[in-house]
Amino acid sequence: MLAAATLIGGVPAGALLLLLVAGLVQPLAGLLALLACLVAALALARLWLGSLLRLREAMRLAEDGMTEIPESLGPILLPSVEEIAEGVRRLARSAHERAELVMRLRRADEAIVERLPDPLVVLDGNGAPLRANAAARSLFGAQRQAAAGGGAGEGTGQRAGQGAPAPGAGQQGGAGDLAALLRHPAMAEALDAALAGEGPRRVDISLPVPVPRELLVQAIAMEPPLADGGRVVLVLSDRTRERAVERMRADFVANASHELRTPLASMIGFIETLRGPARGDAEASDRFLAIMAEQGERMRRLIDDLLGLSRIEITEHQPPTGRVDLAMLAAAEAEAMAPILESRKLRLEQSLSPGCIAAPADAEQLAQVLRNLLENAARYGREGGVIRLSVARAEPGPAEPGGPRWPSRPGVVLSVADDGPGIARHHLPRLTERFYRVDRGRSRHAGGTGLGLAIVKHIVNRHRGQLAIESEEGVGSTFRVWLPSEA
């Protein structure tokens, strides 16, 4: 306190002493003025030090988390510079430690949301997507890109232009899926209700393109809004597989009961004949058993195709992940088809451009596409005719005058053509329907199940490709499959 008084009263006291020594003031008046100056300095120093102590106590309370200073401390006047600096340093350290704690908690929260099994999308007040977790990016076809340096960029805070794509901005069709979801009338109604404060909304959404999806969506309003402006959180559940299984069961029972009835009735009739009138007739037995074996093989193929088609439909909404050299695969399948082609005296002409890589692609399913198209050409083509198999890179735009138009992104085209009787134009849109046949009698005689092109269609859909069918009566038919490729 004495040091503070000296600091405060030193300048005026020194001035008075100089005036006394110089004889410019009366000694008595000068001494009284000097005494008054010292008393004032002591009073100010006491007030100043008291204020400093109160400031230090207030800073301590602030460090402990108190947001308001108690009135019992009284007014706080000017403290010393050293005390202020030390208090500021302590507050800075405390603020830094608390900021680090907040960031750790935020990263932990983001990591939890990022790893949630259900897709989650955050929307702003206008219904535009702000961010999405890994499950949502996977659902809508986006490729996850880790932000440089990790940290918060690895969580749900990934935004367009900040080290990771916006939801649905990766593979073809992803952005369209999310945009279609947000434009759906039922989704728009649920968002409006959530933003109006009517509580969470649950809605079932069916997205027919680019592949059928069945989604259960919960719209939850955020009040107050999130730090990034998020107003609504969408929690999605992909019910496509479950609904596909339900439809598969119903379709399998309906289709199997219809298609299996004819061969089964034929086999039962021959069995009754062999057990009755034809008992002991070796010639009739051989003939009937051959027919029964043929019908049994037909039933086996039908069941295999039904099960195969059901498996493909269940996973159709999940894009493949591999890469396939389409020319090499086509050559292998053509070689495996040689016995069937020879039995019908068919000649196979191949034009396979090397290095045509389909990606993303499933090699087993694309092999099935090739087998079905080649078998279809061999079954319905002209006996002794020519089948043309080609694989080439796709050029954007029309494949040829009047032909299908291919997408602008990189792709490859698989083509199988025959010189058979052709197909009438009004049949073409329905060729990929289950069990649809142009000529039922000829199809059954040729051994077809009516499911081959339906299987091809669903595999092409899963690969986000295109199937084009062209045919002219008396000339032949051409089946083209466009598949996405590497750039």
Model confidence at 388: pLDDT above 70: yes
324-339 pLDDT tens trace:
999 999 999 999 988 8
Query: What backbone phi and psi angles, to 5 degrees, belong to 404?
Result: -70, 155
- State what percent of residues in the chain have pLDDT above 90: 14
Under the banding of pLDDT at 50, 70 and 90, the label for residue 417 is very high
Confidence (pLDDT) at 271: 87
Confidence (pLDDT) at 255: 65
Model confidence at 143: pLDDT above 80: no
Q: What is the mean pLDDT of the chain?
A: 76
Answer for the pair 131, 122: CB distance below 8 angstroms, yes or no.
yes
- State what percent of residues in the chain have pLDDT above 70: 69
Q: Of the ranges 102-111, 271-280, 330-339, which one carries the lowest mean pLDDT score? A: 102-111
Confidence (pLDDT) at 76: 45
Confidence (pLDDT) at 395: 80
Mean pLDDT of 11-16: 57
Mean pLDDT of 240-252: 74
Fold classification of 115-143+167-238 is Beta-Lactamase (3.30.450)
Fold classification of 319-487 is Heat Shock Protein 90 (3.30.565)
Higher local confidence (pLDDT), 318 or 85: 318
Higher local confidence (pLDDT), 33 or 186: 186
Half-sphere exposure for 87 (CA within 13 Å, toward CB)? 19
473: left (phi over 0), alpha (psi -120 to 50) or beta: beta
Answer for the pair 107, 150: CB distance below 8 angstroms, yes or no.
no
Q: Of the ranges 168-182, 236-250, 291-305, 447-461, which one carries the lowest mean pLDDT score? A: 168-182
Confidence (pLDDT) at 439: 66
Helix or strand or coil: residue 324?
Answer: strand
Decide whether 115-143+167-238 matches 241-318 in CATH topology: no
Under the banding of pLDDT at 50, 70 and 90, the label for residue 268 is confident
Confidence (pLDDT) at 176: 56
Mean pLDDT of 69-80: 51
Model confidence at 312: pLDDT above 70: yes
Residue spans of the domains in the chain: they are 2-79, 115-143+167-238, 241-318, 319-487
Mean pLDDT of 39-55: 65
Mean pLDDT of 140-162: 39
Model confidence at 283: pLDDT above 90: no
Q: Which CATH class is domain 241-318?
A: mainly alpha
Mean pLDDT of 56-78: 56
Under the banding of pLDDT at 50, 70 and 90, the label for residue 60 is low
Model confidence at 70: pLDDT above 50: yes
Under the banding of pLDDT at 50, 70 and 90, the label for residue 391 is very high
Under the banding of pLDDT at 50, 70 and 90, the label for residue 369 is very high
Model confidence at 295: pLDDT above 60: yes
Confidence (pLDDT) at 9: 47
Where is 101: in which H helix or E strand? helix 81-114
Helix or strand or coil: residue 382?
Answer: coil
Under the banding of pLDDT at 50, 70 and 90, the label for residue 144 is very low
Model confidence at 156: pLDDT above 50: no
Q: Of the ranges 24-28, 298-302, 410-414, which one carries the lowest mean pLDDT score? A: 24-28
Under the banding of pLDDT at 50, 70 and 90, the label for residue 57 is low
Model confidence at 87: pLDDT above 60: yes
**Amino acid found at 360:** P
